[in-house]
């Protein structure tokens, strides 16, 4: 089950049907339950009490001491389920009926919830979501770090947990509609398939993003621009017997919540889209707030959205946006947090956790485009950011210059190489901040931290499981946990960010 840094998750297709989350009442007849967990087989019916929410949003219960994972079930519910998969230590089952309903169960507002895979817990009230995410973090520390009594602060949530995503990356397809001409749909792949689910009006996307996607689809259809999927002749009625023609595969729209600007990028398989002049003119008319239109060329069969080449068709190559008092210029491929409101809370949590006095040297590991380091720079003596991707380091340096953060430097390389080199030159970091990808911290990095012995280590994590495992290494190496603060960066999904502060004993 994979998760991108922007919060989208794909769940196993076997546990999801077209209507996987019934709210109770009449259900299909349940098969007979086996007497012993070891005798259970696919198709058997079981009754399970749900104890908690799992890391992928599924309900977790136990059947005769064997863990059971059931999508759509909620903590404290009693449910009937049909077994889909049996393993030595766990079962997977499909929810059939809710016998005892949780007060946190709500009707999901999205018509494709449970199908598109973008959200996992819309069927839980927001207060219930925040508690569930706290429990996910607590369970991870208990399981992987053997910390059963760890004090964890309540999850930092949003006042309005909708309309928060500032960016959409949607696959496009031309699809025949019964009784009418074909239409263009844009969406995500249905769980476990390569079928696109239309997510027009997605309730977690900002309305400006949804409107822009709709307008871009309309213009592509109006101009008969070829698409790469569902378009045997490229969607052009003026081409006869010319064979397949490659075209647009993805629409990418990013909205500036502070700047009000709109950035539109069409990911294509070739750089020679027809009617580009008409395309530019129509999109400028339909989207007057658009500050730039680009093509990104990605001819490869790959799950990666972007290719290496980006062509500016019109307007500015970079979009302006801000976080707090920081200003950024974002190219189409530049990473930027998807929930600006919660990003400010996250970075302020990091700043408070670091407790800087203006005299400290801070190393920002896995610094990306430098946002955390730049946020901390006014409160530290020196910031040194480290990132393995050279392009991100260049972005970080530009951002530092743009914001006058003269005490922030950014370096391309591995922490385990640069930190020892700096130590030989007499630099010893007071604080190390790390915000790694979902796989967590590299073991060599952890060993380097233990040798560098910073007074404080601030760990920003998007995966509670790897967070707890990495913290166990640091705890065994002479650190102790000072605080744990979950932050809800992606409401309606099972993802939870966490800021953990470790201090040297």
* pLDDT beyond 70 at 6: no
128-142, 228-242, 399-413, 474-488: least confidently modelled range = 228-242
Range of the domain at 195: 167-330
Both 225 and 345 in one domain: the answer is no
Name the domain boundary from 95, 117, 139.
Answer: 117
Residue partners of 140: CB distance under 8 A and separation at least 6: 55, 464, 465, 467, 468
Pairing of strands 66-70, 59-63: antiparallel
* pLDDT beyond 70 at 37: no
Percent of the chain with pLDDT over 90: 81
Both 304 and 175 in one domain: the answer is yes
Both 90 and 193 in one domain: the answer is no
The pLDDT value recorded for residue 27 is: 44
The pLDDT value recorded for residue 7 is: 42
Q: Is residue 367 situated within a structural domain?
A: yes
Q: What is the tally of structural domains in the chain?
A: 3
Percent of the chain with pLDDT over 70: 89
Write down the catalytic residue from 119, 367, 462, 498. Answer: 462
The pLDDT value recorded for residue 71 is: 96
Both 356 and 254 in one domain: the answer is no
Q: Which residue has the higher pLDDT, 38 or 290?
A: 290
Q: Is residue 160 situated within a structural domain?
A: no
Both 42 and 190 in one domain: the answer is no
Write out the two tokens for 423. Answer: 């130590």
183-192, 446-455, 478-487: least confidently modelled range = 183-192
From the centroid of its chain, how far is CA 471? 22
The pLDDT value recorded for residue 245 is: 53
Per residue in 429-443, pLDDT (tens digit) is 999 999 999 999 999
CATH number of the domain bearing residue 264: 2.40.50.1070
Both 214 and 257 in one domain: the answer is yes
* pLDDT beyond 70 at 18: no
Per residue in 134-153, pLDDT (tens digit) is 999 999 999 999 999 999 99
Both 494 and 350 in one domain: the answer is yes
pTM surpassing 0.95?
A: no
Banded model confidence at residue 272, pLDDT cuts 50, 70, 90: confident
Q: Is residue 5 situated within a structural domain?
A: no
Name the domain boundary from 86, 101, 117.
Answer: 117
Both 346 and 300 in one domain: the answer is no
The pLDDT value recorded for residue 241 is: 36
CATH number of the domain bearing residue 54: 2.40.50.140
367 is catalytic: no
Q: Is residue 136 situated within a structural domain?
A: no
CATH number of the domain bearing residue 489: 3.40.50.150
Q: Is residue 133 situated within a structural domain?
A: no
Banded model confidence at residue 162, pLDDT cuts 50, 70, 90: very high
Q: Is residue 148 situated within a structural domain?
A: no
Both 276 and 215 in one domain: the answer is yes
Name the domain boundary from 300, 330, 360.
Answer: 330
Both 387 and 324 in one domain: the answer is no
Which of 197, 274, 183 shows the shortest CA–CA distance to 234? 274
Per residue in 105-127, pLDDT (tens digit) is 999 999 999 898 899 999 999 99
From the centroid of its chain, how far is CA 268? 23
Q: Is residue 126 situated within a structural domain?
A: no
Looking at every residue in the chain, the average pLDDT score rounds to 90
What secondary structure does DSSP assign to 28-80, as a single string? SPPPPPPSSGGG--TT-EEEEEEEEE-TTS-EEEEETTEEEEETT--TT-EEE
Helix (H, G, I), strand (E, B) or coil at 90: strand
Both 319 and 423 in one domain: the answer is no
13-27, 208-222, 286-300: least confidently modelled range = 13-27
Per residue in 402-424, pLDDT (tens digit) is 999 999 999 999 988 999 999 88
Per-residue HEC secondary structure of 6-34 comes to: CCCECCCHHHCCCCCCCCCCCCCCCCCCC
Per residue in 316-357, pLDDT (tens digit) is 999 999 999 999 999 999 889 999 999 999 999 999 999 999
Q: What is the largest CA-CA distance in the chain?
A: 75
Both 307 and 347 in one domain: the answer is no
């Amino acid at each position: 089950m994979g998760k991108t840094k922007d919060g989208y998750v794909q769940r196993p297709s076997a546990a999801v049907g077209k209507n996987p989350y019934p709210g109770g009442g009449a259900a299909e007849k349940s098969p007979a339950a086996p007497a012993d967990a070891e005798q259970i087989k696919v198709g058997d019916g079981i009754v399970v009490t749900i104890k908690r929410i799992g890391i992928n949003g599924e309900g977790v219960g136990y059947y005769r001491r064997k863990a059971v994972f059931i999508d759509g079930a909620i903590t404290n519910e009693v449910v009937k389920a049909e077994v889909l998969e049996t393993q030595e230590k766990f079962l997977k089952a499909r929810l059939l009926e809710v016998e005892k309903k949780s007060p946190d169960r709500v009707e999901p507002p999205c018509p494709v919830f449970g199908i598109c895979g973008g959200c996992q817990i819309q069927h839980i009230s927001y207060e219930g979501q925040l508690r569930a995410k706290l429990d996910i973090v607590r369970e991870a520390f208990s399981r992987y770090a053997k910390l059963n009594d760890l004090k964890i602060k309540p999850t930092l949530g949003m006042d309005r947990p909708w309309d928060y995503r500032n960016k959409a990356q949607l696959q496009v397809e031309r699809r025949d509609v019964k009784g009418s001409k074909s239409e263009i749909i844009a969406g995500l792949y249905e769980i476990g398939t390569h079928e696109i689910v239309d997510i027009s009006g997605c309730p977690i996307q900002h309305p400006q993003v949804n409107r822009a996607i709709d307008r871009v689809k309309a213009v592509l259809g109006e101009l008969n621009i070829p698409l790469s999927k569902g378009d045997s002749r490229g969607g052009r009625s003026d081409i006869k017997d010319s064979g397949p023609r490659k075209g647009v595969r993805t629409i990418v729209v990013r909205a500036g919540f502070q700047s009000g600007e709109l950035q539109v990028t069409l990911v294509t398989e070739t750089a020679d889209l027809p009617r580009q002049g008409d395309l530019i003119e129509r999109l400028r008319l339909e989207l007057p707030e658009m500050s730039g239109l680009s093509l990104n060329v990605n001819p490869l069969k790959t799950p990666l959205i972007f290719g290496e080449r980006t062509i500016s068709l019109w307007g500015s190559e970079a979009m302006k946006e801000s976080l707090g008092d920081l200003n950024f210029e974002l190219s189409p491929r530049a990473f930027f947090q998807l929930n600006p409101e919660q990003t400010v809370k996250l970075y302020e949590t990091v700043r408070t956790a670091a407790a800087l006095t203006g005299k400290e040297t801070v190393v920002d590991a896995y610094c990306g485009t430098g946002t955390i380091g730049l946020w901390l720079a006014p409160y530290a003596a020196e910031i040194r950011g480290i990132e393995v991707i050279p392009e991100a380091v260049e972005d970080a340096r530009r951002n530092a210059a743009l914001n006058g953060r003269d005490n922030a430097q950014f370096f391309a390389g591995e922490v385990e190489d640069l930190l020892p080199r700096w130590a030989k030159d007499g630099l010893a970091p007071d604080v190390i901040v790390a915000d790694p990808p979902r796989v967590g911290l590299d073991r060599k990095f952890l060993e380097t931290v233990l040798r560098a012995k910073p007074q404080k280590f601030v760990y920003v994590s998007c995966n509670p499981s790897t967070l707890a495992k990495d913290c166990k290494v640091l705890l065994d190496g002479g650190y102790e946990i000072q605080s744990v603060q979950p932050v809800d960066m992606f409401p309606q999904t099972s993802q939870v960010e966490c800021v953990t502060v470790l201090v040297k004993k």
